[in-house]
Each structure stands twice: as structure tokens, then as C-alpha cells.
A and B are shown apart, each in its own frame.
Chain A
Amino acid sequence: MTLATERSPELDEALGPGSPVVVFDRVSLAFDENVVLRDISFTLIKGHSKIFLGASGSGKSTVLKLILGLLKPDAGVVWVNGERVDRLSEWELMKVRADLGMVFQEGALFDSLTVAENVGFKLLEEGMPEERVWSRVDEVLGFIGLAEFADRMPSELSGGQRRRVAIARAMSYKPRILLYDEATTGLDPITADTVDNEIIKLRDLEETSSIVVTHQLRDAFRIATHEAVRDGNEIRIVTAQGSKAEEAEFIMLKDGGIHFEGNAAALRASRDPYLRSFLS
């Protein structure tokens, strides 16, 4: 076997044009005897979104934690913005994480801090003058429509509001990659739509790349098939046109591997029995 064939197509794609921001190359991870990921490879292109589907426990959160360097793979390579996060020290990772925003599964808001302090946490840590921090916090809370909740404690918020604050906290420092872990799970359809709209707005108007983890197909398709457009002073969410509709890619995890990879149309057309049962 030659060197060229040993390299996975994902890595080849990564080395060519197209500006990949996150690359997994044959990543494996097991907790004791529980193999969670086996030889996972994929590439996220700048400004695009990747939607991870899979049953509970299929390793979706684990993928996001590997990107952040919160977990280290047993084998394989994880590139984020050209850095090998799988072998960086905790100290070196801080620089990579500055360009990553993570919305944790249950929000993971700091419950001893107010909404505003949560959202401004990183900016304050970085030593930005307080005045500028609070004006940025106002701006971000306005963007997600929670300006009047700035002084509340997280425990006083509803589930949907907590998720939106978590999004606000992740976007406050303008990272170019956003990771959403089940941001809509457990929300009613109307609230879920408002959260999905934030994800679409950030992707299309702020040009962030995003990885969206969900096991709710409804939200997955909404994010894949809609786009945000500026209409004068107004922002509207409309059905995606042309190539935009093809852009978002789905990855279905099952038994440690990638069971399906493709866009919304391919997913809908698939005849695979497991996918069909997931889709219905």
C-alpha cells in the first residue's frame, strides 16, 4: 500500500482548497470497554453546517468534546483551525478554544452567576473593560431576544430561555465555529423553532461554521433547508434556495461508526431500513 492510498479522502480534501475548519481523521475513542467512536472521519468546511444525528448514547456529545479538546481520542487526528487539538496541552488549547463556541446539552450555565455575567464571562476573563463588556452583552442578549432577562439568575429561566442564553454566551466573543449539543431537545416545537432560527441566523449572517447535534429530525431539516436573509432592517428566515439547500450535510452515528453521510435530499431519498425507522 502506498502512502497516498493510506490517507483518507477526508484528509485529502482537507489539504486541498475549500478551507476546512474541523477535520476528524480516523478518530477512535473508548471508555474502558465501551467503544464509543470507531474510525470516524469527516470535514467541516468554513461557513457550512454539519448536522449530527444518532440515538442517545451514540457518541454525538463525545464528538463535540473531542473538537474542544475536553476529551482526547485513543487514536486518530483532530484538526481545528489547522491545530492538532488531539495532542495540544490544556494550556495550548486555550488559544484554539477562543475561536470555538459551545452550547452544552443542558446549557451548562453557571448557576451562581446572573444571565448577564454568564454571557459576559469570557470577555471579563479576558480583561475587557466592564463598560464594553456590558454593551456587548446587551447587544448579544438583544440578538437572541432576551434583553430584559439580563439580571435574572439561570434558575429563574425556562428551558428554552436557558438554551438561548447558552447560545448568547457561546457567541459573545465572536468565535468562528459554533457547536450546538441538542440545543432544542425537550423544547416545544414553537420554542425549538426560535432556537433553530438563532442557529440559522448565526450561520448565514455572522458567517460562522457550525456543528449541530440533535436527535430531532424536525429541527435538523429546518436548519438544513432554511436560510436567513437581511431584508432592510429586518431579518427573515426563508426556505433555502439553490446551492444553499444542498450545503448542509447530515452525519448519522450508529454503533461507533458513521452510518450515513449526505445532504437533506439524500437523507430523504435513502432506502436504508435504520434511517427509515429514524425518519418515521
Chain B
Amino acid sequence: MLTHTERWAKAAILEVQEYVQLLAAVGRAVVTPPFYRRDVVLQFDAIGIGSLTVVSLTGFFTGAALALQTGQTLDRFGARTLVGQLVSASMIRELGPVLTALMLAGRVGSGIAAELGSMAVTDQINALRALGTDPVRKLVVPRVLAATMMAPVLTVIADTFAIVAGWIISVTSLGVGSSTYWTQVLEGLYLGDAWQGLVKPFVLGLVIGTIGCHVGLGTRGGTQGVGRSTTNAVVVASVLVIAVDFFLTPLLMRVLY
């Protein structure tokens, strides 16, 4: 008989081991045929195009709120004109990637876990294997590719909406002129920031896609299990997004600047 703690530790180690095995299988499946092009295109559409609205809205309101907040803070230093620089730098380096990834964890991570989870509990995954098709190639690779490739694109879109929202707030309620704002936006941008703003979402997208697939494929226990998996995928992916961002930030700063 194992104690509760031992059993928990064993389960945790097994879980991590299975996740690493999935990562390895994805790596292998990406570079060797057969490829499922049609499924990849479908997932790019579902994950990428399908997330446009939610990501644009998130970017817009974050940018607007950021401009209002920083406008007030900068006033204390008599530096209200720097608002453009603050909005662009904080969005591109930190908030754009993290908030976009959190929205994707909610929308894409849960969607993948629910879809693969219901396939798992209805034996559709087993049916695929019985028919000689590798579920990793057919289901996992298209979703992971789409999440990984679309996350940077969506982040750039969120950043753009945020900077435009910041401009609207600056002009309408902060009394900062258009040209001042845009000059500051460009002033605040370094090449390293741009790279950081693209590499981060790439890694975070990979995390969201693989966690969604891993949790979904491991679903047991009928409809209830699907519900549990969906929640778990969102929680695990969201926490990982923030944690990975934290560890990635100093690393990228060292490499890129």
C-alpha cells in the first residue's frame, strides 16, 4: 500500500513523463511523413482566425487602460508626453505576449482539451489507432503547429490594437498630441523588444497547444472527465504561461540586448 503522498508523487512524475513523451512524438511527427496538410490548414483557421476578435478586444482595452493609468503616474514627474513610449514598451515586451497567451489558454487550450477529451472518452482516439492512423500526426501536430505559429501573429495584432487605443486616449483625454504620441511610440522601441515580443508568444503558444493536447488525450471518466480536463487545461496552461514568461524574460534579455 502506498501512502497518499507517494501515490501523488508517482502520478505527478508519470504525468510529466507522458508530457515529455508527447513533446518528443510531436517533434518526430513534424519532420517525418505522413503529414496531414488539410488538418493543419483547418486548425490554423480555427485557432488563428477564430481568436482574432477576442485578442483584438483584449489588446484594445488593455492599451486604453494602460494609457489612462500611466498618464496619471507620469504627471507626477511632469512627463506625461512619454505615454506613447510606456504603452508600446510594456505592451510589446510583456503585456501583449502574456495577455494574448492567457486569452488563448482560455479559448484554444480549453477547446483542444474538450475536443480531444470527448474523442478519448468515446474511444474515437482508439478507433483512429485501430484504423492505423497515428493520433499525434492527425490531431496533435496540426493543433500544436497552429497554436505555436498563430500566437506571435495574434500578439502583434493585440499590440497594434493596444497602441492605437493608447493613441485615442492620449489625444482625447490626456491632451497629448498625435505626433508626440507616435514619436514616443517609435522612440520606445528597440530591436530587442521586437524579438522578445515574437519569441515569447511562440514559446507560450507551444505550451498552450501541447498542454491542451496532453490533457485532452489523457481524459478518462466520460462526460464528467471531459469537463474536468477542460478546466485543468485552462488552469495548467494559464499558470504555465505566467511562469514560463517569468523564466523566459531574463533569459531573452541576456540573449537579445
Contacts and interface: CB of A to CB of B under 8 A. Distances in A.
B132 A108 contact: no
A97 B123 contact: no
Contacts of B128: 110
Contacts of A104: 123, 126-127, 130
A98 interface: yes
Nearest to A127: B34
Given A106-B123, A110-B124, A125 B130 contact: no
A100 interface: yes
Nearest to B123: A108
Contact of A122 (B123, B124, B132): B132
A125 B126 contact: no
Interface residues of A, number: 21
B134 interface: yes
A108 B122 CA distance: 6
Nearest to A123: B131
Interface string B116-152: 0000001110111111111000000000000000000
B131 A97 contact: yes
Contacts of A70: 126, 129-130
Nearest to B1: A33
Interface string A252-276: 0000000000000000000000000
Contacts of A111: 122, 124
Given A106-B122, A108-B122, A97 B132 contact: yes
Contacts of A63: none
A171 interface: no
Nearest to A122: B131
Q: Nearest 4 pairs between A and B by C-beta?
A: A108-B123, A108-B127, A104-B123, A102-B130
Interface of A: 65, 68, 70, 90, 94, 97-98, 100, 102, 104-106, 108-111, 121-122, 125-126, 169
15 contacts: A68-B130, A70-B130, A94-B132, A98-B132, A100-B130, A102-B127, A104-B126, A104-B127, A106-B122, A108-B124, A108-B127, A110-B128, A122-B131, A125-B132, A125-B133
